[in-house]
Amino acid sequence: MKKTILFFISIAMVLAGMAQGIYNSGASLVSQSGNYVVVGAGNFTLTSRSATTPATFANLKIVGGASLTIEPQSFLTVNGTLANEANSSSLFIQSTAAGTGSLLNSTASVSATAERYIAGWTDANHGWHFLNSPVASQAISSFHTAGSGNDFYKWDEPTNEWINRTATGGGLNGSFETEFFIGRGYLVANSATSTKTFSGILNVANVELTGLTNTPGKTNRGWHLVGNPFSSAIKWTQGTWTKTNVAAFPQIWNESTASYKVLAGGGIIPAQNGFMVYVAGGGSLTIPADARVHSDSAWYKNSASENEIVLVARDPEGKTAQESIINFNPASTEDFDMEHDSYFMAGFAPMFYSVSQNQLFALNTLPEIKDEMVVPMGFVKNQSSSFSIELTQNLPGQTLYLVDLKTKNEHKISESPYNFTSVNGDNPNRFLLKFGTTGIGETPKQQPIVVYASGNTLYFSNPKGIVLKGDLFVYNTMGQTLLQQKLTANTLTELNLNASTGYYLVKVVTADSAYTSKVFIQR
């Protein structure tokens, strides 16, 4: 007969070594032995619904013939010794669609069984999960059968490939490891919803990952899929992490939007969840046990930054979305900064990113805000054709405009989403995010030309469609004229610049005005 234990225990009393007896119908079902709470002679279920005030014991022992189950979204902390004198199934951590139970303990060699609820795929884009094991020596065969139609992959940075556990033809890929590597993330997708189980010795030690590479010439160079190796959530900014050549912001796979999401603001990574880290080369990462926390988050949780602008490109037909963040910090530069930026990675949603120094950013931190500054935004459609871009977070009092270079439309994105269509072959350099003067309701001066660069190509745009006649000059940093020509345009104009990588000054002179912009060219 299964009983439910409702813990109403003073943490202060527990830390003072005062064991608590739990009783049912006058019979002692949990007995006291020194400063231990001993679970004996029965099957018990822990229900403790608050991550901030979990059920907490100084020490806890499960004797033979007894069992303790931690329900989904329930939280147990053992500050001293946790002993399971029965088998792994006697300490059971449940998981459902609502969430997974959480256990914080520091005793080595404790056997347990931890469930993982895995929703089945609903289409080609939805149903992918990042997964990691919280126990040692867990066989992958318990989670995946080669040739079954289900998917099980690992990411290989040097080759820039997802390596399939199923070999070509449907058999087992013999080069794939047979057990989960502690700290390595895996990508899974199953045709049917199921609850899988990890069974073995719970990992409670720091996990060190070394030899993390950054292979030149690869699209997603430097990215590694790692994983939370514990039976509780971890916090990216808590504890004694060692991050050698590792960028400040990891990314999580957002299952609902089928896209990668930057884990900004010291986010929470749930138990058994994988996440991507970017490494500049020669990297190592230590995932520390003191980063563990209780959290009721099903997958991940961000702490929003007050300095962020967040734009989301939505695909209503395919039910996908891609987020792009622009942040501001005076310690950053316009180039990629390991401590402030995160490169863009493509998922199944439309590709949507900001561009700076010919690089694509999911999180782009710039040194300052300037009135009427322009940030190029790239967009590449997926299989859908109708999209919207929405501003979901803005800076106080900031007016923002989205300039569509294809339609020559300038839309006040700070007031309403922008709806548009896209076809194959559209120029990915389609949008500009334009900053108005600071203050709600103010309208920026209508500069008739916008100049920016991508690679070694200069782009000149007249969002309002005004015919602009003038002379174009391009200067290097020494003031030398590299290019001079006539410019007549009322739409997007492209000009390839045969110049080495670096900053250049672009000047357009008309009959009554002069417009100057600094651009970065990369060969």
Q: CA separation (Å) from 427 to 375, 408, 488?
A: 16, 13, 20
Label residue 12 exposed, middle or buried (CB < 10 Å: 0-12, 13-18, 19+).
exposed
Task: Give per-residue burial for 204-215: e unless 16+ CB within 10 Å, then b.
Answer: bebbebeebebe
Q: What is the pLDDT of residue 84?
A: 94
Separation of CA 517 from chain center: 34
Contact 255, 220 (CB under 8 A): no
Q: What is the pLDDT averaged over residues 26-38?
A: 58
What does DSSP say about strands 82-84 and 60-62: parallel, antiparallel, or unpaired? parallel
Report how far Cα 479 is from the mean position of its chain's Cα atoms: 43
pLDDT score of 14 more than 50: no
DSSP 85: -
The average pLDDT across 397-404 equals: 93
Closest C-alpha among 69, 116, 61 to residue 92: 69
Report whether pLDDT(220) > 90: yes
The mean pLDDT of 212-232, rounded to a whole number, is 96
Judged against a pLDDT cut of 90, whether residue 358 lies above it is answered with: no
Measured at the alpha carbon of residue 281, what is the angle toward residues 275 and 284, in degrees to the nearest 5? 55
Which of 76-80, 357-361, 447-451 comes out lowest in average pLDDT? Answer: 447-451
pLDDT tens by residue, 456-486: 777 776 655 556 677 888 888 888 888 888 8
Q: How far apart are CA 40 and CA 33, in angstroms?
A: 11
Non-local CB neighbours of 507 within 8 Å, separated by 6+ positions: 472, 473, 474, 475, 514, 515, 516
Q: Is 383 left (phi over 0), alpha (psi -120 to 50) or beta?
A: alpha
Reported confidence tier of residue 362, pLDDT bands at 50, 70, 90? very high
Question: Can you tell me the mean pLDDT for 274-291?
Answer: 97
Q: Using alpha carbons, select from 18, 19, 70, 77 the residue that is nearest to residue 52.
A: 77
pLDDT in tens, 326-340: 999 999 999 999 999
Q: Residue 8 has what pLDDT?
A: 32
- Label the pairing between strands 374-380 and 431-435: antiparallel
Whether residue 321 has pLDDT greater than 90:
yes
More confident residue, 14 or 436: 436
To the nearest 10°, report the CA torsion of 7, 11, 17, 18. Answer: -50
Looking at the predicted structure, is the pLDDT value of residue 32 above 60?
no
pLDDT exceeds 50 at position 392: yes
Q: What is the pLDDT of residue 265?
A: 67
Helix (H, G, I), strand (E, B) or coil at 142: helix
Residue 95 has pLDDT above 70, yes or no: yes
| Per-residue pLDDT, 503 | 81
Residue 417 CA, distance from chain mean position: 24
pTM to 2 decimal places: 0.84
> Which tokens hold the place of 506?
């672009």
Give yes or no for residue 429 having a pLDDT over 70.
yes
pLDDT at residue 33, as a whole number? 60
Tokens of 103: 């256990």
- Per-residue pLDDT tens for 109-167? 999 999 999 999 999 999 999 999 999 999 999 999 998 999 999 999 999 999 999 99
> How many C-alpha atoms does 148 have within 13 Å on its Cβ side?
15
Give the distance, in angstroms, between the CA of residue 77 and the centroid of all CA atoms in the same chain.
27
Chain-centroid distance of CA 197 in Å reads 25
pLDDT bin (cut points 50, 70, 90) of residue 205 is very high
Residues 467, 414 contacting (CB under 8 angstroms): no
- How far is it, in rounded angstroms, from Cα 257 to Cα 76? 32
Per-domain residue ranges for the chain? 2-86, 117-193+201-303, 309-435, 450-521
Flag the least confident range among 38-47, 231-240, 513-522.
Answer: 513-522
Residue 490: band (very low, low, confident or very high) from pLDDT cuts 50, 70, 90: low
Please state the rounded mean pLDDT for residues 263-275: 88
The 10 Å CB-count burial string (b at 16+, else e) for 321-332 is bbbbbbbbbeeb
CB count, 10 Å around CB of 307? Answer: 12
Classified by CATH at the fold level, domain 450-521 comes out as: Immunoglobulin-like (2.60.40)
Would you call 294 helix, strand, or coil by DSSP? coil
How many angstroms separate the Cα of 186 from the Cα of each of 138, 144, 202?
13, 12, 19
Confidence (pLDDT) at 28:
39
Contacts of 196 (CB under 8 A, 6+ apart): 115, 116, 118, 142, 143
pLDDT given at position 521:
79
